[in-house]
Homo-oligomer: A and B are copies of this chain.
Amino acid sequence: MSRPDDVIATLRKRNELWTPAPGLIALRGEVLSRFRVLEKRVRAVCMREDVEEWLVAPALPLDVLQRAGYFASFPQWLTVASHLADDEPTLERLAASQEPARELTTALAAPSAALPPAVCYHVYAALAGRRLDAPIHVTAQGCCWRHEGPRFAPLERCWAVTMRELVCIGTEEDCLRFAGESAEIVRALAEELEVPFTIEVAEDPFFAPTSRGRALLQRVKALKHELRLAVDSDRTIAAASINVHERFFGDAFDIRASDGQPAFTACLAFGLERWLLAALVHDVSSLAPNRAEPLVLELAP
């Protein structure tokens, strides 16, 4: 077993991982091959018979997050996409500037979209206003954005991460069954990768004070569980979460289940880079010799 820092140092030395900007990583070579295998495996464990896959958009309308109460719950994480103001004088001023990157703030239009903090918001938004005859199970993988201030660590805590989610929308019974099955899915995957794990009751880091009480309630009612993978003798990281939202999103997006009531929702979320890190911590010596010959030179730090 290596330490996470040693794994990252090894990957950097092999020129297979680099950080083009704070909180963002790039991969190549053997570690990218490992990541692709993991992506496929996680997709496979989600693609059960009654599950359909979506390709979700890379951004969300701001009103979707507003409807979901996101600004009150997790404003600290929010990342938005903004384009420039469309007027010619603004564009000409920027184009002619010697320091355009510094002058950007005054050239931006009001943001109209958020970069997704999770995949499942796409699903609730698409089903808004619908009544479902039967439970729906959707899976999708997407790039998800959570600004973590300066607390970045490659593969462990990044601004943008690769998330695969499996979402269930139905009755209370549907969602509770889904949560139980999800625990079996993550347990089996951790065993397959031979990484020691625990499954624990958890809570979201709701932003205080507006969401004070929600975290406590979440924990008391055991609505959130995390699969934590061991990455050091005394340290684990959350690599998957199982969340039961009760009627929160069914109410917020006016989605009704077959019983006519606001739908229950639940989701299983995988943070793929963390699974990769945990697997490598226990197995870094198994990386094949570096075959990425043409680039055996030091990449940008």
Q: Which of A59-67, A218-226, A244-252 contacts B (4 or more CB under 8 A)?
A: A59-67
Q: Report A103 CB to chain B, min CB distance, Å.
A: 9
Whether B111 and A95, one on each chain, are in contact in the complex, defined by CB atoms closer than 8 angstroms, is: no
**A100-B20 contact, Cβ under 8 Å, with A81-B145, A122-B26, A294-B52:** no
Which A68-83 residues have C-beta < 8 A from chain B? 71-73, 75-83
Q: Report A22 CB to chain B, min CB distance, Å.
A: 8
A-B contact pairs, 5 of them (CB 8 A): A27-B54, A57-B160, A81-B115, A95-B207, A132-B297
A215: Cβ under 8 A from any B Cβ = no
Residue in B closest to A158 when the chains form the complex, CB atoms:
B57
The 9 A-B residue pairs whose C-beta atoms are closest, nearest first, are A71-B100, A83-B147, A24-B57, A62-B101, A27-B55, A95-B210, A21-B61, A28-B54, A75-B91
Q: Report A71 CB to chain B, min CB distance, Å.
A: 4
A181: Cβ under 8 A from any B Cβ = no
A110: Cβ under 8 A from any B Cβ = yes
Which B residues are in CB contact (< 8 Å) with A125? 20, 300
Residue in B closest to A136 when the chains form the complex, CB atoms:
B294
Residue in B closest to A76 when the chains form the complex, CB atoms:
B91
A1: Cβ under 8 A from any B Cβ = no
What range describes how many residues of A lie at the interface? Answer: 35 or more
Whether B81 and A80, one on each chain, are in contact in the complex, defined by CB atoms closer than 8 angstroms, is: yes
**A294-B50 contact, Cβ under 8 Å, with A81-B81, A96-B210, A108-B80:** yes
- Among B20, B61, B79, B130, contact of A61 (Cβ-Cβ < 8 Å): B20
Residue in B closest to A148 when the chains form the complex, CB atoms:
B83
- Among B24, B25, B95, B147, contact of A71 (Cβ-Cβ < 8 Å): B95
A56: Cβ under 8 A from any B Cβ = yes
Q: Report A241 CB to chain B, min CB distance, Å.
A: 21
Whether A128 and B300, one on each chain, are in contact in the complex, defined by CB atoms closer than 8 angstroms, is: yes
